[in-house]
A and B are shown apart, each in its own frame.
Chain A
Amino acid sequence: MNILVCVKQIPDPAGPQELNNDNTLKREGKLILDESDSYGVEIALQLRDTAGEGEVTLISMSPGEPSGLRTALAMGADKAIHVVDDTLHGADALSTAKVLAAAVQRAGDYTLVIAATESTDGYTGTVPAQLAEILGLPSVTFAKSIRVEGGKVHVDRQTEAGYDVVEADVPAVVTVTAGVVEPRYPSFKGIMAAKKKPLETLAVSDLGLDLSSWGQNIVSVEDAPSRAAGEKIEDDGEAYLKIVEFLEEQKVI
């Protein structure tokens, strides 16, 4: 079973973040595999291993070195397609989906396209659904488990109340919720082998796309409003009742 996993390389969220003059995020430093993508990679590896055949191919669009892709290759993915192009600077979600869709169409036969529900840097959460629409595929979101059987993908789809059992024809685009599996650590051998795995670097022109008119402008960036001051309660020995009352109001207890 061939599985494509869309992964994003992002600046390390643990480090300080800066914006460019055009209000886009600075991505000059070393980029890492977005943690939220590591779950999809893990699920894809498990599906491949259970099937006992096929390949996991990574698809990514980002500037710079493929350092984050190497992490996923070290985990066990078989190959990667990396779209790098200066013209993609500041690309919005739809442009990104178009680029990824074009890359998917170059990747040969596949059963599933897996993505995270949203990235840790952009948080639009719209790319996977756009990707499915462009590719004309079913879109299943918020998967907590995925099984492929009888030409269909069976997904337990997380909801606020529990989960829905969903099925769709394959190929399909499925997004994976963060935290549903324990992503494996890359082994040392996997890290050494990752250097030699196929990694195709493509420009927008290789994909036959013209994105010149699709740019977006970020007009301004405002700080999030600071939190309003909380309520102070002096403890006269009965303050715990206030806490209980508050938690009840919030329907937490």
Chain B
Amino acid sequence: MYEWPENMQLMRNVVRDFIEKEIVPNLWDLEHGDLPPYDILRKMLKTFGIDSMSRERFRRSIEREEAAARGEVDEERSAGDEGESGIGRDGVAMGMIPIVELSRWCPGMVTAMGVSMGLTGSAIMSKGTLEQKKRWAEEILTLEKVGAWAITEPDSGSDAFGAMKATARRDGDEFVLNGNKTFITNGPYADTIVFICKLDEGNPPDERRVVTFVLDSGMPGLEQSKPMAKMGLHSSPTGELFLNDVRCGVDRLLGGETSLTQTRAAQKEGAKSTFTMERSGVAAMALGIIEQCLQKSLEYAKERKAWGRPIGEYQLIQLKLAKMEVARLNVENLVFRYIEMAMDGRDLSLGEASAMKLYSAQAAVEVAMEAVQLFGGNGYMAEYQVEQLARDSKILQIYGGTDEMQVQHIARDLLSR
């Protein structure tokens, strides 16, 4: 695959058209105002039938699970062309297109959508009981409800599990949850929160089991902060969560009682697939940012004149454009490689996913900063948009595992061979 197939190009064109009509006119309110992204995202999902595809996929998956629980094997369904991921051979490529296109204008919207439908939805789908999936997942996978996935704390980021302070304590048939979470995407607006903490059974913190609960907004003791002020990614509301003796039953313990007997290795395996999904998504975001910066830079280099000549005629500008194009080709190739592997039913290793994220994120930041430089004073002004992409791109090196963590995962993978 060296270019998007024809039907994917059509998808790209229609999504691009939708974004130009529905998002670009609202860009200022999304990026510099208080407009939350969810209604526009919902409109996009509905327009392209992504929500109904998601719903159908969810229902099929539940039917399969129910059939399996009854001891029936549904040959037709399991032998379909959906592959392991359940989203079909074209599903991965199809999923990449809105990510790339939205990232050209609003990487924050991808984050808001991805954390809700991707991270939160798949946490429930991969670890939840059948009842929990039915109760929460469908509405999150279709973005009818906004989901948040809460792991990071004020004193624990990369070392999320080691330094985690949030706890769940048993009290009769119930659990009592306490702790603070921060940098939580969708935190201020989340209807459903996947809350990760440690089970305090009176044992030392580093021996405590990691447990996950599903919480609903408005539960007594749960407070969701207003959006935090941040460097970029303003179309993705980020917040803090404060839990003060939030009481919940075992029905909210993700995976139910059996999750309390899961081995650490099994838990880690689950985390790995989350990391891989997240990291490949970051590469697609980087591609959108790079494509947009290159396109805008090219237009500017042809139009803007200095000493009577378009600045594109000067070699220092040409060098910037050439480096942007190299980055675009590389990141696009990584995204295409990921799609091709998925179509062959192969998963990226954690090392590969990390390498893809590390390179793509760095490339996006470099390209966006160079775009600002190429635009000069105009580049520093919000009107020209490249400054927004420069601020937004920086998060790609931090969330979903910092660059430093990616290096560690790549090196571990290499050295373990």
Contact = CB atoms under 8 A, between A and B. Distances in A.
Decide whether A and B assemble into one complex.
yes
Interface of A: 67, 70-71, 74, 185-192, 194-195
B43 to A, nearest CB: 11
Contacts of A187: 47-49
Contacts of B90: 192
B10 to A, nearest CB: 5
B14 A186 contact: yes
B295 to A, nearest CB: 14
A145 to B, nearest CB: 23
Contacts of A190: 49
A187 B52 CA distance: 10
B404 interface: no
Contacts of B48: 185-188
Given A67-B6, A188-B94, 12 more contacts: A70-B7, A70-B10, A74-B10, A185-B47, A185-B48, A187-B49, A188-B11, A188-B48, A188-B50, A191-B10, A194-B7, A195-B7
A191 B14 CA distance: 10
6 closest pairs, A vs B, by CB? A187-B49, A185-B14, A188-B48, A189-B49, A185-B47, A191-B7
Nearest to B46: A187
Nearest to A188: B48
A70 B6 contact: yes
Interface string B11-51: 10010011000000000000000000000000000011110
Contacts of B53: 188-189
A188 B49 contact: yes
A35 to B, nearest CB: 11
Contacts of A191: 7, 10-11, 14
A186 B7 CA distance: 11
Contacts, number: 36
A197 B80 CA distance: 21
Contacts of A189: 49, 52-53
Chain A interface main SS type? helix
Contacts of B17: 185
A194 B5 CA distance: 14
A99 to B, nearest CB: 26
Q: By CB atoms of chain A within 10 A, which of B14, B17, B48 has the most?
A: B14
A90 to B, nearest CB: 27
A70 B13 CA distance: 13
Contacts of B6: 67, 70
Interface in B76-92: 90
B10 A186 contact: yes
29 contacts: A67-B6, A70-B7, A71-B10, A74-B10, A185-B14, A185-B17, A185-B18, A185-B47, A185-B48, A186-B14, A186-B48, A187-B47, A187-B48, A187-B49, A188-B48, A188-B49, A188-B50, A188-B53, A189-B49, A189-B52, A189-B53, A190-B49, A191-B10, A191-B14, A192-B7, A192-B90, A192-B94, A194-B7, A195-B7
A66 to B, nearest CB: 10
Contacts of A67: 6
A187 B48 CA distance: 4
A129 B125 CA distance: 58
Nearest to B17: A185
A110 B18 CA distance: 33
Nearest to A70: B10
Contacts of B52: 189
A10 to B, nearest CB: 15
Contacts of A71: 10
Contacts of B49: 187-190
A195 B11 CA distance: 13
A112 to B, nearest CB: 26
Nearest to B7: A191
Nearest to A187: B49
A194 B10 CA distance: 11
A153 B355 CA distance: 63
A185 B47 CA distance: 7
A188 B9 CA distance: 11
Nearest to A71: B10
A188 B50 CA distance: 7
Nearest to B98: A188
B257 to A, nearest CB: 39
Nearest to B97: A188
B59 to A, nearest CB: 15
A189 B14 CA distance: 13
A195 B9 CA distance: 13
